[in-house]
Structure 1
Amino acid sequence: MTVDAHIPEGTPEMDPLQRAGAVALMEDGFDSVEAIEGPDGMEVDLLDSIVAVYPGGALLKVFVDAPALEFAEEAVRSVVGELLERSELLADWQIERCEVELHPKLAQESLAAADGPDAPPDDPADRKARHTERPTVEDDSEGYDAEAEAEAVRDQMLALADELRSFPPVMFGVLDDEDDEKEDGDIEFAVSPEDAKLAAGALVYATEILVDELFQDVQTLTEEDTTAAECDGPLWHFEDLPERYALQYDARFARRFLVTVIAMTTRFTDGSFQRLSCVAEELALKLLLNETNVTLETFGLLDDGVSAALDSFADNVYEDMDHEWLYDDSMDGIDESAVGAALGVASMAFKAWFTPFNEGRYVHPSAADEPEGAAQ
């Protein structure tokens, strides 16, 4: 279950201390629950929960074992509502979204048992690719209107654009007032304000998808107690990180990376972003851009103008592209070589991924390196 709870409308956004307190209250509340009584006395087992708090509320992943989807939804909405009401500090919070998602492993088993010509492929990667394909003409004949769906998503993205408070249109390649005064011959290409706005909204839209899918990856790695290289279950994103370190991507790493994504995108939307803080954030932005491009392409919204806007955004946010060398085995160790030192390449060793580039960079305390000698 995914639950999105918001602070009351008109209330100032939470500061870091308040967010830490909200996490503690919610986690303590879930720890006190073993099972939930569903409709007609039906018992729903609470298996696990993950709490991620941002300035405007909290995103919760609640894993339950229920005999039916509707029982899971009603039970989780009920228990989250009760946990909020019990706490004086959270009593006014509102549940904005509470929806069911099938457990990836159980869904895989169910799909594998399907029969008929329309049965999905056995391979999880093939199923993932099929899931992200655009609707076909045959879908339209069954009542699905792909164009209407694409237009609705486009409108939603445009409405979300203002949420990306840290980046003005110029970051997406839109000319500022000074550029407007230049002669036309001095400008090779400029992104239109509408394309920039769609690109900005798509980033916000894709952020929610990325965070949801990373939550699922964390749960998969936690349940299997393994790494991305050895995981039997389907993973959304950790297989897209540099392959040479796949044996290091365990549940603890996955949680640190998820927190990094949430912290980075929170700074994108609350207006406080200045620079990427560490290698993990550089890789997180790469995943977010990939998700944004896939989402736009899925709905047929990735034209040349929007693509140029996203390219401009990446060029302006990344200070360099050294992290791309992590995907090239021939460049392994360049950061520790004389060439790397001459080029000013920061350390890209796996142990340094969550280390700030310098003292002025921010890394979330839950993802930061532990002090020397700290207990595991």
Structure 2
Amino acid sequence: MTSWPISLRAPVRPCDAECVTYAVTVDTSIPVGSPEMDALQRAGAVALLGKGLGSVEAIEGPDGMEVDIFESIVAVHPGGALLTIFVDAPALEFAEDAVQSVTRELLERSELLAEWTVERCEVRLHPQLAQESLDAADGPDTPPADAATRKAHHAARETAADGRDECDAEAEAKAARNRMLTMSAELRSFPPVMFGVLDPEDEDGGEEEDVEAGVRPEDARLAAGALVYGTHLLVDELFQDVQTLTQTRSNVAECERPLWLLEELPERYALEYDAHFARRFLVTAIAMTTRFTNGSFQQLGCLAEELAWRLLLREASVSLETFGLMDEGVAVALEAFAENVYEDLDHEWLYDDSVGEIGEDAAGEAFGVTPMAIGSWFTPFNGGRYAHPYAMEASEDATQ
């Protein structure tokens, strides 16, 4: 791997026409065999990693090449940390190589983190951007243009890779499972009964009967860990959507660049989902998941939180399916949890086109559901609910 010395120069230059902004995800782990970190140790790890990344403004590469770091997110769990580092780089490979190099160097410089390892360092490309990149690819590894030749080319490559890919997939699934089980401890606001695990006081049968009547504790832990894992993806992808809408000065309906999550919100309001809305929604998602993980969650505070929770469930489910971990027991655990967190499913009306024809307020009066006009999405359901002050502030002038 190419050496990328750390540069502490300032200020950070904006990305020029030859650079692209990449979000590099780094998965780090504590030494094998070490006990899991307690709350104090995790707080210390956050401080060390945050301070280290905050001191780096650029990474110098060969031939005078530079990769700029302009934002980083640190999320620590008992078994390590997930980092999301936003960089400006001339190519994806340079972004990954530079971030991996600087992360390893920062760990080595810290006495307390010197034995930590970097398990994964990669750029998560939006599927549409990845496809466009593949379509435009031209080089020695580009598949032949002729259909028959291309079929034979792919068949030969797949045959050679089958054994290796199967082993890699199994190892990746095992690692993801262990990571999620470790992360489950971070979901402090919810006991196992929220996932359908029988309360010990209600059990009156043997182990076999308990398994049939309720969710297995391990399935509940995996579901909980998937939600924490999905939280990192949720915040990361919303952050990137905010950047996209800010850079393009557009909204979801008119943005010509692909978006990660905001396109999943009710389509008829797509013109309203601009950069300001996206920032308010991101803050709402962070406030909600913070209460999930610090033990203070009581109820969803507003309609925007219900929509953010819907997206989080999607992230958790997709993550489990991606690694082949979504079996029947885990699916039941997630379903039970969703039912316990949601008080009602009124927000589902926003995805019903027939409601748009008569108006949300009229539909609310006719069918007894909560008013759903977009102006009320960030307003607390009642005085006892929480909504972040920034999210409640609807005036664009207040953000200037």
Q: TM-score range by the shorter chain?
A: 0.7 to 0.9
TM-score by length of 2: 0.69
**Count of residues in correspondence between the two structures:** 341
What is the CA distance between 1:258 and its match in structure 2?
A: 1.6
Q: Does 1:277 align with 2:301?
A: yes
Aligned residue in 2 for 1:133: none
Aligned residue in 2 for 1:161: 184
Aligned residue in 1 for 2:148: none
Q: Does 1:359 align with 2:383?
A: yes
Once the two structures are superposed, residues 161-193 of structure 1 have per-residue CA deviations (whole angstroms, 9 ceiling, x without a partner) of 111110000000111133214899999841111
Task: Look at both structures and tell me which one has the larger radius of gyration over its CA atoms.
Answer: 2
**How many Å separate the matches in 2 of 1:323 and 1:138?**
49
What is the CA distance between 1:365 and its match in structure 2?
A: 2.8
* Match among 282, 301, 306 for residue 330 of structure 2: 306
Q: Which amino acid aligns with 2:66?
A: V
Q: Which amino acid aligns with 2:257?
A: G
Could you tell which deviates more after superposition, 299-308 or 58-67? 58-67
**How many Å separate the matches in 1 of 2:164 and 2:210?**
51
Contact 2:364–2:371 (Cα < 8 Å) also in 1: no
Q: How does 1:81-230 map to 2 (within 5 A)?
A: 99=121, 101=123, 109-114=132-137, 116-117=142-143, 140-145=162-167, 146-181=169-204, 189-230=213-254
Contact 1:51–1:58 (Cα < 8 Å) also in 2: no
**How many Å separate the matches in 2 of 1:210 and 1:375?**
23
What is the CA distance between 1:39 and its match in structure 2?
A: 3.1
Structure 1 residues 59 and 293 mapped into 2: Cα distance closer, same or farther (>3 Å)? same
Aligned-residue CA RMSD in angstroms? 4.5
Aligned residue in 2 for 1:128: none
Structure 1 residues 191 and 58 mapped into 2: Cα distance closer, same or farther (>3 Å)? closer
Q: Which amino acid aligns with 2:60?
A: G
Percent of matched pairs sharing the same residue = 51
Structure 1 residues 182 and 318 mapped into 2: Cα distance closer, same or farther (>3 Å)? farther
Q: How does 1:306-345 map to 2 (within 5 A)?
A: 306-332=330-356, 335-337=360-362, 340-341=364-365, 345=369
TM-score by length of 1: 0.73
Contact 2:75–2:232 (Cα < 8 Å) also in 1: no
Contact 1:355–1:369 (Cα < 8 Å) also in 2: no
Once the two structures are superposed, residues 137-179 of structure 1 have per-residue CA deviations (whole angstroms, 9 ceiling, x without a partner) of 9853344422332222112211111111100000001111332
**How many Å separate the matches in 1 of 2:211 and 2:104?**
58
Aligned residue in 1 for 2:33: none
Structure 1 residues 289 and 38 mapped into 2: Cα distance closer, same or farther (>3 Å)? same
Contact 2:360–2:371 (Cα < 8 Å) also in 1: yes
Please give the secondary structure, in 2, of the residue aligned with 1:233: coil
Structure 1 residues 366 and 269 mapped into 2: Cα distance closer, same or farther (>3 Å)? same
Structure 1 residues 177 and 237 mapped into 2: Cα distance closer, same or farther (>3 Å)? same
Aligned residue in 2 for 1:73: 99
Structure 1 residues 37 and 12 mapped into 2: Cα distance closer, same or farther (>3 Å)? closer
Please give the secondary structure, in 1, of the residue aligned with 2:202: helix
Aligned residue in 2 for 1:252: 276
Once the two structures are superposed, residues 265-317 of structure 1 have per-residue CA deviations (whole angstroms, 9 ceiling, x without a partner) of 11111111111111111011111111111111222211221111111101100
